[in-house]
Amino acid sequence: MIAVIRSLGRGNIEVHIGNPSPQNPARASRYVSAIHDIPAYSPDQCHRWIKAVQAIMTREQFDLVIPCSDPTQIPLQQHRKELEPHGKIYLLDDAVFKTITNKISVNSLARKAGVQLPREMVIHSANEAPLIKDSFKIPIVLKPTSSFDSNHIGERRTVQKIYSYDKLDSAIAKMLNYGPVTIQENFIGCGVGVEFLLNQGKPLLEFQHIRLHEPLHGGGSYYRKGMAVTPHLREAALAILGQLKYTGVAMAEFKINLATGNWIFIEINGRFWGSLPLAIASGADFPLALFKLIVDQQTEHNTSYRTGLCCRYWTGDFNWQLANIRADRSDPTLATRPLSTVLKETIVSTLALKERSDTLTLDDPMPGLVELRQLTSTIAQRFIRPIRRRWLQSQLARTRLKSRARIALLQAQTVLFVCKGNICRSPFAHQIAKRLFPPNRTCISAGYYPKANRPSPATAVTAAAQMGIDLSEHRSIQLTEELVNSADAIFVFDFENYERLIADYNCRHKLHLVGAMSSGPIWIDDPYGQHIDQFIATYEKISKAITTPFNSKASTS
């Protein structure tokens, strides 16, 4: 998102952003004129999301709305008929979108065009698993049909690499819940992206990068280097995109074995990509060019760019560095790099003034400073978190926490219960407290898991019913900054909940632990996926913790 913001802002275009996460450094950009709060998208409550987007588009009269990720692109694409009358949105043709987000369909186009693919097979049933073991050696790559869909917008379905036949059946069974699974043989190589802005399949702007640091088992990249476009990779990408008469931005991903020169096609990303800051820093300004194409119908753009620049996502690369140090270097399937090479490439690019950052730029330094602060905090928390956890469990801390929590529960006008998913613990606590609160006080619950409108699991419903609480009609609510700000007191259940809210929101002063209000364990763990006995035990702890302050108050009255 930050790269798109800067590109448009530097082009003297007023930029608004919608619903960025609280920790997103893009919020601090000098090019952001306004931030709009949009409710989380849910298929069952899409009308609320549609109305919110319609209202913002009507009020602001944008020249163009640009989705910057799959979870924002999918609902916009799906509800374009309701939204496009209110303003112009950058979206793909519906047929193109349906194809480009289906890995099986894209690979079919690649085969038709004669583009090199790894050996693969598509399975539709777990009964086909024995065929895989007979045909493919370990490690095996498993690919879902799509990474996202509108029914599971908050759940990314990732590519998996299986290193043991013993784990194959369970992995396939889980992935088949969302559709056919593509099985591919593993290809050893590094990732290369060829990026385009196209108009009816004709390239208007091009760029290419090679991944220097990528996850050891494959995936996105954290450190990349710009390079000249490789003719045969360009030809392969355009052979696929040309069949679709593609209009918009896209990145074709390949893997290249630098030792042999062999290569394979991986996939097409039909939206802006993670390495976009490198392209823009190099002179390939895709977002501004896209704006001019869609809004002004401009097809002539500066196509030259600087090669050799390197760009780093600091947070991701820090974690990669740790993983690379600890990795088994005897395993050729891991994307490790020699430590001497890692050190040398950084020194060389820095001395040559070719080192860039995804978030830190001279004209817009704040997002980079925010990321540095977050990274520093993350590193510090590796040492502080265990100390804080032990302190919160100490008798001295518990005495203070107990007093604060009880006062807050008894006096706060609006109380918010938060757990991870808002389907097990927080809705039960909500209902218990609701029974005890007078009519003039408000009680709500939510979860930070990025998917709303989920029902409580059947085990939770049964366990709650045994304690006189009805969760059958409950549907999860996703936590927002608005909910946090509106609450006078917030109650969480375990250390993960506590740390997450401190990290994401300015709420430490009103954050409390449910478990601190009774004499039992201070942490009330998530029973999700466990036996009903565990649910009942958890609900008994919650009930005791919430009712105890009210009982104590009654006995002293």
At residue 40, the pLDDT reads 82
Residue found under tokens 């190589």: 189
Residue 370 domain-assigned? no
Q: Is there a single domain that holds both residue 174 and residue 203?
A: no
Please indicate, yes or no, whether residues 410 and 343 belong to a single structural domain of this protein: no
Last residue of a domain, one of 151, 185, 219: 185
Residue 243 covered by a domain: yes
CATH of the domain at 24: 3.40.50
3-state per-residue secondary structure call for 44-82: HHHHHHHHHHHHHHHHHCCCCECCCCHHHHHHHHHCHHH
Regarding whether 542 and 459 lie in a shared domain, the answer is yes
Nearest Cα residue to 248 out of 372, 390, 68: 68
- 504 found inside a domain: yes
If asked whether residues 232 and 178 sit together in one domain, one would say: no
Enclosing domain of residue 37 = 2-91
214: Cα separation from own chain's centroid: 17
Pair (207, 177) in one structural domain: no
Give whole-number Cα distances, 491 to 61, 142, 146, 517, 542, in Å.
Answer: 40, 40, 37, 11, 11
In angstroms, rounded to a whole number, what is the distance separating the alpha carbons of residues 146 and 162? Answer: 19
The closest of 513, 518, 511 to 540, measured between CA atoms, is 518
Whether 400 is in a domain gets the answer yes
Q: What is the CATH number of the domain that holds 243?
A: 3.30.470.20
Tell me which residues of the chain have a pLDDT lower than 70. 553-557
Residues 161 and 208 in one domain: no
In a domain, 99, yes or no: no
- CATH no. for residue 426? 3.40.50.2300
Q: Please state, in angstroms and rounded to a whole number, the distance separating the CA atoms of residues 469 and 466.
A: 7
Q: Are residues 86 and 142 in the same domain?
A: no
Query: Of 305, 301, 308, which Cα lies nearest the Cα of 280?
Result: 305
Total domains present in the chain: 4
Distance CA(5)–CA(11), nearest Å, equals 10
Helices 395-411 + 532-556 axis angle, to 10 = 70
Ordered DSSP codes for 120-146: EEEESSGGGHHHHHHH-PSSEEEEES-
The distance in angstroms from the start CA to the end CA of the chain is 56
Does residue 207 sit in the same domain as residue 327? yes
* DSSP conformation letters of 476-528: --B--HHHHHH-SEEEE-SHHHHHHHHHHSS-GGGEEEGGGGSSS-S-----T
Domain assignment present for residue 123? The answer is yes
pLDDT tens digits, 469-493: 999 999 999 998 889 999 999 999 9
Q: How does DSSP classify residue 425?
A: H
CATH number of residue 143's parent domain = 3.30.1490.20
Residues classed as catalytic: 419, 425, 526
Query: 354 and 252 in one domain?
Result: yes
The answer to whether residue 375 sits within a structural domain is no
For the chain, percent of residues with pLDDT exceeding 70: 99
- Tokens of residue 274, six digits: 């993670």
pTM over 0.85: no
Domain check: are 529 and 431 in the same one?
A: yes
Query: Do 310 and 215 reside in the same domain of the chain?
Result: yes
Cα(445)–Cα(492) distance, integer angstroms: 10
Contacts of 373 (CB under 8 A, 6+ apart): none
Residue 388 lies in a domain: no
Residues 438 and 488 in one domain: yes
Q: State the Rg of the chain over Cα.
A: 26
